[in-house]
Every structure is written in C-alpha cells, then in structure tokens.
Amino acid sequence: MNNQEVEIVVYGAEQLCPSCVNLPSSKETFEWLEAAIARKFPDQPFKITYVDIYQPIGESEKLDFAKKVIEEDMFYPVVVIKEKIVGEGNPRLKTVFAELEKHGYKGI
C-alpha cells in the first residue's frame, strides 16, 4: 500500500474544448476522477488539483504547463501525474490507475 501522496493535476477550462463537444466539462472530469481514484485506492493518500488554464494559480510549473496547454492546442482536460501526461480530452481511468500503480498504489 502506498503511503506517499502523489499529486494528480487536472488542467482544464470552464468552456469545453472545441473538439470535446459531447464530453463532460473539465470540472466534471476532475470530480469524476477524484471519486474514482478514492474508490479504487481507498485509504491511500493522493492530492488532486484543478488548474484553470485561462486563470491559473499555483506554483510556476503549473502556470507554465497551463500556458503550454493553450499554446499547443492540447485537448483538455489534461491529466498529469508527476509531470507525465496520462490523459488528454477524455482521460481513461485504466491509464490513470496504471500510472498511480507505478507509484506504489494498490487497487482493490
């Protein structure tokens, strides 16, 4: 079981990305991911942070990455774990879970 907290960062925006019309909003994806991770990895600490790409706040690396999402026309939300992009546009739980498992998380 993992005792080291990993931060999952979800970069998104209030407005849906133009290519993501039928998908949930970035905020809905953030809430869905948070609930799914808590269910899959109970009693294992994790931190999930939402960063609005148009009004980013936080550490400089988060500000820089938010700018990169806009400049590179990435599909958002973009999900990042330990500086690795694990989801873009419509993130897959299987991919997010696999990355967390690489960091010592044990799923149920």
Q: Give per-residue pLDDT as tens, 51-64.
A: 999 999 889 999 99
Closest CA to 30 of 84, 101, 87, 82: 87
| Assigned domain for 87 exists | yes
Q: Do residues 54 and 13 touch, judged by C-beta distance below 8 A?
A: yes
Confidence of residue 1 (pLDDT cuts 50, 70, 90): low
- Least confidently predicted of 2-6, 29-33, 50-54, 81-85: 2-6
Q: How many domains does the structure of the chain reveal? A: 1
- The answer to whether residue 72 is domain-embedded is yes
Measured CA to CA, the distance from residue 22 to residue 101 in angstroms comes to 30
> Is 69 a member of any domain?
yes
Whole-angstrom distance, CA of residue 62 vs CA of residue 9: 9
Retrieve residue 4's tokens: 């080291």
Torsion angles phi and psi, residue 70, rounded to 5: -70, -50
pLDDT above 60 (res 2): no
| 1 domain residue, yes or no | no
